[in-house]
Amino acid sequence: MNSPGLRLVFAGTPEFAVPCLEACRTSGAEVVAVYTQPDRPAGRGRKLTPSPVKQAALAAGIAVEQPESLKSAEAQQALAAYRPDLLVVVAYGLILPRKVLAVPRLGCWNVHASLLPRWRGAAPIQRAIFAGDSESGVDLMQMEAGLDTGPVLLQRRTPIAREDTGGSLHDRLAALGAEVLTEGLRRTLSGEQLAATPQPEDGVTYAHKLDKAEAKLDFSRPASELERQVRAFDPWPVAEGEIAGELLRIWAAHAIAIDHRAAPGSVLATGRDGIDLACGDGALRVTALQRAGGKRIGAVDYLNARPELRQLR
């Protein structure tokens, strides 16, 4: 026997959360409101810009709430006034106090882009690539007061390929997140109570927020690590490194096994395949980069602009 209609409030902010909002809209549940972060300055003009989730909600005709915090009694009363059966949270960016977690009849669900308890926190997608993990995934989790500590309701897994970037894995996990949420809502709407599996105590790691200072490549490290750093930080914050005295954004590169005695960061060779830079172990072959004030270009175009480097073989 089907359960009565489900009143749902959705909380999310970035592009990653938009497929999950769409999954809620098409699930058969009633999305009565969307919570998202306040408009922030963006772009060269620093114009106040609505979040991707706000834009999607307005296009769908859903009421939008943008409190700076959910800690005040007023904000909590406003949420309670929507009488939600369930609050779905996807990359919202605000902490939910205990009183908020207690508002919905069925509690709060979170779609998190990692295989918990690995990579709790703000940047699980990039941290998984940077660390060299062989797989990632998404968890549908019942929220509790701790940071991503709640029991897991459903899970989807995906391998991390050597060519994956932060951007490509982000897009795949956003789609998987919508899939796992769709299944959870379908089963709940049919009257099923999802089994909640506590997270294991072993294997907890934290995915700390990305910092632009982390973008600088340290060529004394192994080339394999730098390759992962370049992939993880595409499209943001984008790795940075010097080539023959010029600081550049490094968009694409891969490690090559080569023995050398050159100083870290030295240009070993250049050619159609890229620019080989000496690392603590092996070399990093740079294939796409960006000069200050310029656009992303291939290594060959860069070498055409620096003919002194084209002599290196």
Confidence label for 311 from pLDDT (cuts 50, 70 and 90): low
Among left, alpha and beta (phi > 0; psi -120 to 50; other), residue 280 is: alpha
First vs last C-alpha separation in the chain = 72
Q: Measured between alpha carbons, how far is 303 from 298 in angstroms, rounded to an integer?
A: 9
Per-residue pLDDT tens for 15-44?
A: 999 999 999 999 999 999 999 999 999 888
Contacts of 68 (CB under 8 A, 6+ apart): 38
Q: Which residues are annotated as a binding site for (6S)-5,6,7,8-tetrahydrofolate?
A: 114-117
Do 116 and 246 share a domain, yes or no? Answer: no
Q: Measured between alpha carbons, how far is 282 from 271 in angstroms, rounded to an integer?
A: 17
Instruction: Determine, yes or no, domain membership for 144.
Output: yes
Domain of residue 13, CATH code: 3.40.50.170
Do 146 and 220 share a domain, yes or no? Answer: no
Q: What 3-state DSSP class applies to 293?
A: coil
Instruction: Determine, yes or no, domain membership for 2.
Output: no
pLDDT at 142 over 90: yes
Partners of 222 in the beta sheet? Answer: 281
Q: What are the Cα distances from residue 165, in Å, to 130, 156, 207?
A: 10, 19, 16
Q: Measured between alpha carbons, how far is 38 from 268 in angstroms, rounded to an integer?
A: 49
pLDDT at 273 over 70: yes
CB-based burial label for 140 (10 Å; 0-12, 13-18, 19+): buried
- In the listed set 207, 236, 262, which residue is the last one of a domain according to the structure? 207
Q: At which residue do the structure tokens 């973008």 appear? A: 215
Partners of 284 in the beta sheet? Answer: 255, 277
Q: Report the amino acid identity of residue 96.
A: L
Q: Which domain holds residue 286?
A: 212-309
- In the listed set 207, 232, 250, which residue is the last one of a domain according to the structure? 207
- In the listed set 154, 187, 207, which residue is the last one of a domain according to the structure? 207
pLDDT for residue 5: 82
Q: Measured between alpha carbons, how far is 91 from 81 in angstroms, rounded to an integer?
A: 23
Do 23 and 53 share a domain, yes or no? Answer: yes
Cβ atoms 107, 131 nearer than 8 A: no
Cβ atoms 284, 223 nearer than 8 A: yes
Do 169 and 219 share a domain, yes or no? Answer: no
Do 147 and 243 share a domain, yes or no? Answer: no
Q: Measured between alpha carbons, how far is 86 from 31 in angstroms, rounded to an integer?
A: 10
Do 30 and 86 share a domain, yes or no? Answer: yes
Do 133 and 239 share a domain, yes or no? Answer: no
pLDDT at 3 over 70: no
pLDDT average, residue stretch 146-158 = 97
Do 132 and 275 share a domain, yes or no? Answer: no
Do 216 and 202 share a domain, yes or no? Answer: no
Domain of residue 261, CATH code: 3.10.25.10
pTM score = 0.95
Q: What distance lies between CA 178 and its chain's CA centroid? A: 14
Q: Which residues are annotated as a binding site?
A: 114-117
Higher-scoring residue by pLDDT: 244, 5: 244
Do 69 and 32 share a domain, yes or no? Answer: yes
